[in-house]
């Protein structure tokens, strides 16, 4: 690879990036993670459903509650069949009120249960924010550790499905800013299965952000006995490279892998880091990757200002300033309300915008 990728190189790469490619991204299987042994192929929706069933089987105090999670199985069918399997006491529909769902979950946790509430869409979490911030995030603290909040809040998240308003929000920075919460987002079926099983067995509240545009993509999931070797903590390098690190989470991981494929055609070897945990952010993992590549671009769907990209850039700068070849670049959604479906492809970072971000970093010159 030449030290400097030229604009024409990138334009050539972009010429290959058509709407058909974007379409292709949504049907390609998620790359097989390195630590997967015996696997089954399933969609993220199936993987999440399987994880919930196993959590419910292993922990009789685990409960699933939310809007339409019972007989219907949730609007995304993540809880499909679980009420039938575990009964109406353990998988139950609540009235349509998100603050009620979260406030009730706090009380259930105080009574020794492990509630797994679902908020039907990301934007519906807003009415519950008071309970999430003031109660879910603080009860363990307020009670000096005597009333833990083992609440796993599942939130179908992010955009990309041409949905109505408030059905495509990216709330990770808001949640990550709240003391007492942990935030995680899986990028594919295997991650979804393992991270949900892990999150739903913690004693702390975890906001589990499911990339709804990836629900139906299939991939190998290691559900076998060797699944115990899965490391649910920290970030994960999903593609190794040496010239630049792309940092992403949720649905953007698959897109970054596609970008890496395109860049590879020009001899640019991109490392893709699936951050997975958005709180706590894996500073060590970030630093290890960028120490090697010396360049980083962070990609997220959420608006740019005060987005998690800023936190990622700050962590990288603190740890890798001396060896960085360029400032950390952010490729993000814009500081606008999430647009209608017709415009969401303009809003969500696409392959071209990510490639431009990479180009800016590669072409950066000091002074």
- Catalytically active residues, by annotation: 167
Site string for other proteins, 127-146 (x = CB under 8 A): ---xx--xx---xxxxxxxx
Give the other-Cβ count within 10 Å of 365's Cβ: 7
Q: Indicate whether 53 belongs to the interface with other proteins (CB under 8 A).
A: no
Q: Indicate whether 202 belongs to the interface with other proteins (CB under 8 A).
A: yes
Strands 91-93 and 114-118: unpaired
Distance (Å, whole) CA 7 – CA 315 = 29
Subset of 280-299 contacting other proteins (CB under 8 A): 280-281, 283-284
Contact region with other proteins (CB under 8 A), list: 69-77, 88-96, 154-162, 260-268:
88-96
Question: Quick check: bond before 366 cis, omega within 30?
Answer: no
CB of 214 to other proteins, least distance (A): 26
Strands 218-221 and 40-43: antiparallel
Instruction: Render 266-311 in DSSP notation, one character per residue.
Output: TT--EEEEE--EEES--HHHHHHHHHHH--EEEEEEEESTT-HHHH
Q: Indicate whether 85 belongs to the interface with other proteins (CB under 8 A).
A: no
Gyration radius (Cα) of the chain, Å: 20
Distance (Å, whole) CA 127 – CA 97 = 8
Q: How many CA atoms lie within 13 Å of 30's alpha carbon, on the beta-carbon side? A: 30
Is residue 220 within a helix (H) or strand (E), and if so which, with residue range? strand 218-221
Q: Which of 150, 276, 141, 134 is nearest to 205 (CA)?
A: 150
Among 20, 95, 231, 321, binds other proteins (CB under 8 A): 95
Q: Indicate whether 94 belongs to the interface with other proteins (CB under 8 A).
A: yes
Contact region with other proteins (CB under 8 A), list: 39-47, 176-184, 298-306, 352-360:
176-184
CB of 124 to other proteins, least distance (A): 14
Q: Indicate whether 179 belongs to the interface with other proteins (CB under 8 A).
A: yes
Distance (Å, whole) CA 284 – CA 212 = 28
Among 76, 113, 124, 249, binds other proteins (CB under 8 A): 113
Q: Indicate whether 111 belongs to the interface with other proteins (CB under 8 A).
A: yes
Q: Indicate whether 310 belongs to the interface with other proteins (CB under 8 A).
A: no
Contact region with other proteins (CB under 8 A), list: 11-19, 42-50, 179-187, 221-229:
179-187
Q: Indicate whether 37 belongs to the interface with other proteins (CB under 8 A).
A: no
Size of interface with other proteins, in residues (CB under 8 A): 46
Applying CB under 8 A, the residues found at the interface with other proteins are 63, 89-90, 94-95, 97, 99-100, 102-113, 115, 130-131, 134-135, 139-148, 179-180, 182, 202-204, 279-281, 283-284
């Amino acid at each position: 690879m030449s030290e400097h990728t030229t604009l024409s190189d990138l334009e050539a790469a972009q010429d290959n990036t058509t709407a058909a490619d974007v379409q292709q991204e949504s049907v390609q299987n998620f790359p097989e993670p390195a630590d997967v042994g015996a696997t089954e192929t399933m969609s993220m929706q199936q993987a999440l459903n399987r994880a919930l069933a196993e959590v419910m089987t292993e922990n009789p105090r685990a409960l699933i509650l939310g809007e339409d999670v019972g007989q219907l199985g949730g609007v995304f069918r993540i809880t499909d069949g679980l009420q039938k399997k575990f009964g109406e006491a353990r998988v139950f529909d609540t009235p349509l009120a998100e603050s009620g769902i979260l406030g009730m979950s706090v009380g259930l946790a105080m009574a020794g249960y492990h509630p797994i509430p679902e908020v039907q869409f990301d934007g519906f979490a807003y009415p519950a924010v008071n309970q999430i911030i003031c109660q879910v995030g603080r009860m363990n603290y307020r009670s000096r550790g005597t009333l833990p909040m083992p609440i796993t809040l599942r939130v179908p998240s992010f955009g990309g499905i041409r949905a109505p308003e408030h059905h495509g929000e990216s709330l990770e920075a808001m949640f990550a800013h709240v003391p007492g919460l942990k935030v995680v987002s899986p990028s594919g079926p295997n991650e979804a299965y393992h991270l949900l099983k892990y999150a739903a067995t913690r004693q702390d509240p975890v906001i589990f952000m499911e990339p709804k545009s990836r629900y139906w993509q299939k991939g190998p999931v290691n559900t076998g006995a060797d699944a115990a070797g899965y490391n649910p903590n920290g970030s994960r390098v999903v593609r190794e490279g040496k010239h630049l690190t792309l940092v992403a989470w949720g649905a953007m991981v698959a897109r970054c892998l596609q970008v890496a494929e395109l860049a590879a055609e020009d001899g640019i070897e991109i490392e893709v880091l699936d951050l997975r945990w958005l709180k706590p952010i894996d500073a060590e993992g970030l630093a290890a990757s960028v120490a090697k590549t010396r360049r980083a671009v962070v990609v997220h769907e959420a608006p740019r200002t005060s987005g998690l990209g800023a936190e990622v850039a700050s962590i990288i700068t603190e740890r890798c300033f001396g060896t960085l070849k360029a400032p950390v670049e952010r490729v993000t959604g814009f500081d606008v309300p999430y647009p209608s479906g017709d415009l969401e492809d303009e809003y969500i970072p696409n392959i071209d915008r990510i490639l431009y971000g990479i180009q800016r970093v590669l072409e950066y010159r000091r002074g």
